[in-house]
Amino acid sequence: MKWLRVTQVENIPVRQGRVVRFGSLELAIFNLGGAFRAVESRCPHKQGPLADGIVAGDDIICPLHNWRISLDSGFVKQPKEHAETCVKSFPCRVEQGVVMVAIPEDVLREAAA
Amino acid sequence: MAKPERLAVIGNGMAGVACVEQVLRHQRKFQITIFGDETHVNYNRILLSSVLAGERNVDEITINDWDWYRSNGIELRAGVRVVGIDSQAKALTGDDGSVTEFDKLIIATGSSPFVPPIDGVDKDGVFTFRNLDDTRGLLERSRPGAKAVVIGGGLLGLEAARGLQVQGCDVSVVHLADWLMERQLDAAGGRYLAHKMENLGVRVLCGANTARLRGNGRVEGVELRDGRVLDADLVVVAAGIRPNAAIGKTAGLEVRRGIVVDDFLRTSHPDIFAVGECVEHRGQLFGLVAPLIEQGKVLAATLAGAETAAFEASVPAAKLKIMGVDVFSAGDVRDDQEGVECVRYEDPALGIYKKLVLRDNRLQGVVLVGDAADSRRYADWLKTGEDLSAQRRSLLFPEPLGDGGLDVAQMPNAETVCGCNGVSKGDIIEAIHAKGVNTLAQLKECTRAATGCGSCTGLCESLLKAVAPEFEEESKKVLCGCVPFSQEQLREIIRTQRLKSVQEVLDVYGNGFGCQTCKPALSYLVDVIWCGDHAEDRSARFINDRVHANIQNDGTFSVVPRMRGGVTSPAELRKIADVAEKYQVRMVKVTGSQRLDLLGVKKEDLPKIWAELGMPSGQAYTKGVRMVKTCVGTDFCRFGTQNSIDTGIELERRLENLYTPHKFKMAVVGCPRNCAEATVKDVGLIGQEGSWQVVVGGAAGKGVRKADLLITVETTPQALEAAELFFQYYRENANYLERSYDFVERLGMEKVRKETVYAPEGKQQALLERLRKSKERSYDAWLERDRPSDPTQFVQIQPLEQPMPQEATA
């Protein structure tokens, strides 16, 4: 697991998401009002850009077809028949006003390849 | 004919005047004189908090104006304080030296705020909150950012807190007991209420004992016993009320805490009576309006010699709206006694708390916070003391439908429905029969019922349903589970509670989170209600409204510049072509709206493209004003009878950049051949020789609907104004995502016409004024290319750190 410095806290407005790229890995990072969440940026349904969705509590609603995905677990919450589908989620923390994200080494290797 | 007896009334407040109103209904006539130490006519004290909150002005809380006194032959001695009663000579002495004789006397002096002996309470900037002068004083002192401390977390204190907070003050409530409204609520109920208030931005300190007020002449702070100090520019002392009973002593009446009265409101003197908050009845004092009105009725009957049932204080019950939160409390709510059982329901997310206290299967007390819809049922159970064994499984669930009508039918005509405005069931029935009232809105306008705290709204609806021949039930559908109110209710909540952001509405009336259904709808509502003077929160808007472009199935966006009236120029076309090539847009498409669409644009390119085009946003991505299609009209067409192009461009200019409940499409045609399809648009202007037809509610989408005629007018300015009136009326009254064609069908064209083009002049001007205000605050969204709403609105964030290649591959 490697912690990476992403961006200043103020660059991600409260209850919004922004896309950040590490090699071929594209993350959507969300500001839930102090706490941050990071998931893979594309919806498992039709690759909708999750960072452009509406935040609903701890969930994100995909802007294309309203799939609801938990930002804590990455699992799809709606539609219910896809509850086993998920996007990868990554731990976040804030250090000295900078959002940090932890990415496993194997994911980083894949992204760099 | 014998001269009528002289009836004097000391006190021009709600209880005294309500009693006089009842006296007037009886056969026996009096020559009435009312003394009031305030210089104002009788007003509704309950609504003072709404004056403080800026929702009403002073005139709007007047109950009886000067005309009422005059036409009923009542002499009002306003500003005269009665200082003594000579009960032998039956005469009153006023502070102006006047002496007035009476045959019968009613003492209705009410109560005064209790000001505890706190050190410094006499400083400048310390107020009580009891009458109009207090309210005016508070309004003068309050200003945005001022620090206000309210001492006392009972009903009055909380109302003062809300009013001050709406005025922009930074408000703290300091309460001695361990929870708010400790007499009416239990600890948990008090916590729910405190939580709601803190969500609204009011600080609540319970178990806080005020030691002294700081400041040199003028108050500067409140010091608590535990050493904490709160800064204060103004302080409101709301520590309870005390009966104004001293005047009773001058007459030698029996006075304990209040002036002692019997079951017929008689004092110890045969010709002197007392009513309201100044009395003590069977050891009990009164502070809420309902028993006072009841007392007035009994006393009026007593005076008329038509002795009726004795006054019997009912179980103390309070139904209130505190800072927009419904609170109901009745009976004995303590649950720590031997032999009582407690049934509870809590929903922390929605802030709903209900508790029933039972003894031997009979209701003994009830507390409701956040949802008081069932309060009548519980009040009945308390009154009848019925055995609830059979209902034990559904005590906290609403009654099955169908019983509502029965309930209203059994209510006596004289019973008060709206306590705030003193409207009885009989008044409402009369309004329905005599004035043809069919909707709640009409009922409010006609009787003012349900315009105070609103807690009787359900009852008014039940009455309408039972009695009005053509009752139209207003939509009961809630917006969504996050904020379970109808859009009609939400509009009212946002307006009366002065909520200016989506998050405030969600925090106070919803689950605090919201979702893709309610957030865009609430965004629309706060914008339209405050005419654009709201706190815009882009996170609550759909992505299209954050980046002002329409998201496509691959996550790219489309760009549609505004071409007013569908008119463009070679220079514009050249720029569009250049941009399309430079940014390699996937397709350039002529839209159905007489404009051009550039498809497949990356988010980061949007601001650059807008700048290079130099054209305004066509709002093709939003629920807003799309376009005005036009035919060529008199400019070119040999059949043209009206200048459709200029008129269309002007119409588009007047309405562009505004949000609407759903997309809004218009067309202007120069003759009835209708080449730009005005008859299937939300608004269409159809030119004919010497006049315009203005049509509304047309559709050519999922369904096809021919637009209805709103009005035919002679001149172009009249046609434009008619379109504006309809446009603003639709904006203010349609549900979010309701197209104009559904809206006009729901309301009926008769009503739409009556509320717009045939509305009274004042109403029309008000609609146009609000439209003008909204328009003034609106702007071309594409100008955000230079002033983004946040620094990364269109920017691809580059991470501060990339994993080193060797690390990544190691």
Q: List, edge to edge, every strand of the sheet that includes B210-214.
A: B210-214, B221-224, B229-231
Q: How many residues does chain B have?
A: 810
B475 has a pLDDT exceeding 60: no
B439 has a pLDDT exceeding 50: yes
Round to whole Å and give the CA distance between B117 and B119.
Answer: 6
Round to whole Å and give the CA distance between B742 and B467.
Answer: 28
The tokens for A57 are 């509590």
Round to whole Å and give the CA distance between B770 and B793.
Answer: 30
CA A12 to chain CA centroid, nearest Å: 12
- Asked if the Cβ–Cβ distance from A63 to B551 is below 8 Å, we say yes
B501 has a pLDDT exceeding 90: yes
- Lowest-confidence pick of A74-78, B371-375, B622-626: B371-375
Distance to chain B for A34, nearest Cα, Å = 15
Please state, for a pLDDT cut of 70, what percent of chain A lies above it. Answer: 100
SS3 B616: coil
Contact A101, A4 (CB under 8 A): yes
Please measure the distance between the N-terminal and C-terminal CA atoms of chain B and give it in whole angstroms: 116
For residues A77-103, average pLDDT: 94
Q: Quickly count: other Cβ atoms within 10 Å of residue A40's Cβ.
A: 19
- Asked if the Cβ–Cβ distance from A52 to B511 is below 8 Å, we say no
- Asked if the Cβ–Cβ distance from A47 to B554 is below 8 Å, we say yes
How high is the pLDDT of residue B398? 67
How high is the pLDDT of residue B752? 94
Q: Which amino acid is at A30?
A: F
Show the 3-state SS of B124-179. Answer: ECEEECCCHHHHHHHHHHCCCCCEEEEECCCHHHHHHHHHHHHCCCEEEEECCCCC
Q: Which residues of A touch B791 (CB under 8 A)?
A: 10-11
Region at B62 (left for phi over 0; alpha for psi -120 to 50; beta for the rest): beta
How high is the pLDDT of residue B307? 67
What is the enclosing helix (H) or strand (E) of B442?
Answer: helix B440-447
Task: Indicate the residue of B513, B797, B805 with minimum beta-carbon distance to A20.
Answer: B797
Task: Indicate the residue of B539, B792, B808 with minimum beta-carbon distance to A109.
Answer: B808
Contact B23, B15 (CB under 8 A): no
Contact B292, B241 (CB under 8 A): no
User: How many Cα atoms occupy the beta-carbon half-sphere of B17 within 13 Å?
Assistant: 23
How high is the pLDDT of residue B806? 52
Q: Which residues of A touch B799 (CB under 8 A)?
A: 4-7, 20-22
Place B384 in a pLDDT band, splitting at 50, 70 and 90.
Answer: confident
- Asked if the Cβ–Cβ distance from B799 to A4 is below 8 Å, we say yes
Parent domain of A8: 2-112
- Lowest-confidence pick of B61-65, B209-213, B513-517, B720-724: B61-65
Per-residue pLDDT of A8-38, as tens digits, reads 999 999 999 999 999 999 999 999 997 999 9
Closest CA to B108 of B283, B239, B303, B240: B303
How high is the pLDDT of residue B810? 41
How high is the pLDDT of residue B50? 82
B425-435 and B457-467 helices cross at what angle (nearest 10)?
Answer: 50
Is the bond into A79 cis (omega within 30 degrees of 0)?
yes
Q: Which residues of A touch B547 (CB under 8 A)?
A: 52
Residues of A (30-89) whose Cβ lies below 8 Å from B: 46-49, 52-57, 61, 63-64, 66
- Asked if the Cβ–Cβ distance from A108 to B803 is below 8 Å, we say yes
Q: Quickly count: other Cβ atoms within 10 Å of residue A5's Cβ.
A: 15
Searching chain A, which residue's CA lies closest to the CA of residue B540? Answer: A54
For residues B383-394, average pLDDT: 84
SS3 B789: coil
The tokens for B26 are 């009886």
Task: Indicate the residue of B555, B802, B803 with minimum beta-carbon distance to A48.
Answer: B555
Round to whole Å and give the CA distance between A21 and B215.
Answer: 58
Per-residue pLDDT of B61-115, as tens digits, reads 888 888 889 999 999 999 999 999 999 999 999 999 999 999 999 999 999 999 9
B203 has a pLDDT exceeding 60: yes
Distance to chain A for B430, nearest Cα, Å = 48
Burial state string for B721-732 with b = 16 or more CB within 10 A and e = fewer than 16: bbbbbbbbbbbb
Round to whole Å and give the CA distance between A31 and B791.
Answer: 14
Q: Quickly count: other Cβ atoms within 10 Å of residue B653's Cβ.
A: 14
- Lowest-confidence pick of B384-388, B398-402, B562-566, B718-722: B398-402
How high is the pLDDT of residue B399? 58
Distance to chain A for B807, nearest Cα, Å = 8
Task: Indicate the residue of B515, B553, B809 with minimum beta-carbon distance to A56.
Answer: B515
B756 contact partners, CB below 8 Å, separation of at least 6: B710, B722, B725, B726, B729, B764, B767
The tokens for B694 are 């203005």
Q: Which residues of B touch A5 (CB under 8 A)?
A: 799-801
Residue A9 near chain B (CB below 8 Å): no
Q: List, edge to edge, every strand of the sheet that includes B104-107.
A: B75-78, B30-36, B5-10, B104-107, B272-274
A5 contact partners, CB below 8 Å, separation of at least 6: A95, A98, A99, A100, B799, B800, B801
How high is the pLDDT of residue B446? 79
Please state, for a pLDDT cut of 70, what percent of chain B lies above it. Answer: 96
Residue B790 near chain A (CB below 8 Å): yes
Residue B797 near chain A (CB below 8 Å): yes
- Asked if the Cβ–Cβ distance from A54 to B515 is below 8 Å, we say yes
- Asked if the Cβ–Cβ distance from B538 to A61 is below 8 Å, we say no
Size of interface A-B (CB pairs under 8 A): 107
How high is the pLDDT of residue B400? 52
Contact B594, B627 (CB under 8 A): yes
- Lowest-confidence pick of B25-29, B327-331, B751-755, B757-761: B25-29
- Domain with residue A38: its CATH number is 2.102.10.10
SS3 B91: strand
Q: Which residues of A touch B546 (CB under 8 A)?
A: 16, 52
How high is the pLDDT of residue B402? 43
CA B668 to chain CA centroid, nearest Å: 38
Residue B800 near chain A (CB below 8 Å): yes
Searching chain A, which residue's CA lies closest to the CA of residue B805? Answer: A112
For residues B139-159, average pLDDT: 91
Q: Which residues of A touch B506 (CB under 8 A)?
A: none
Searching chain B, which residue's CA lies closest to the CA of residue A63? Answer: B543
Per-residue pLDDT of B667-684, as tens digits, reads 999 999 999 999 999 999
B405 has a pLDDT exceeding 50: no
User: How is residue B678 annotated by DSSP?
Assistant: G
B502-509 and B187-199 helices cross at what angle (nearest 10)?
Answer: 180
Residue A94 near chain B (CB below 8 Å): no
Distance to chain B for A104, nearest Cα, Å = 10
Count of domains for chain A: 1
- Asked if the Cβ–Cβ distance from A103 to B803 is below 8 Å, we say yes
- Lowest-confidence pick of B375-384, B452-461, B470-479: B470-479
How high is the pLDDT of residue B517? 94
Q: What is the CA radius of gyration of chain A?
A: 13
**CA A29, A33, A39 angle in degrees (round to 5)?**
20
Residues of B (114-133) whose Cβ lies below 8 Å from A: none
Place B503 in a pLDDT band, splitting at 50, 70 and 90.
Answer: very high
B809 has a pLDDT exceeding 50: no
Structure-token match 């130099």, residue found: B614
Residue B683 near chain A (CB below 8 Å): no
Rounded to 10 degrees, the C-alpha dihedral B674/B677/B681/B686 comes to -10
B132-141 and B155-166 helices cross at what angle (nearest 10)?
Answer: 40
Per-residue pLDDT of B341-364, as tens digits, reads 999 999 988 889 999 999 999 999
Q: Which residues of A touch B548 (CB under 8 A)?
A: none
Q: Which domains does chain B have, with CATH numbers?
A: 5-112+243-303 (3.50.50.60), 126-239 (3.50.50.60), 317-399 (3.30.390.30), 404-467 (1.10.10.1100), 478-541 (no CATH), 547-785 (3.30.413.10)
Q: How many residues does chain A have?
A: 113
Searching chain B, which residue's CA lies closest to the CA of residue A42? Answer: B555
- Asked if the Cβ–Cβ distance from B807 to A2 is below 8 Å, we say yes
B800 contact partners, CB below 8 Å, separation of at least 6: A5, A6, A7, A98
- Asked if the Cβ–Cβ distance from B513 to A57 is below 8 Å, we say yes
Place B623 in a pLDDT band, splitting at 50, 70 and 90.
Answer: very high
Give the residues across from B478 on adjacent strands. B486
The complex scores an ipTM of 0.96
How high is the pLDDT of residue B404? 44
B798 has a pLDDT exceeding 80: yes
Question: Please, is B203 exposed, middle or buried when counting C-beta atoms within 10 Å of its C-beta (0-12, 13-18, 19+)?
Answer: middle
Round to whole Å and give the CA distance between A76 and A65.
Answer: 13
- Asked if the Cβ–Cβ distance from B555 to A57 is below 8 Å, we say no
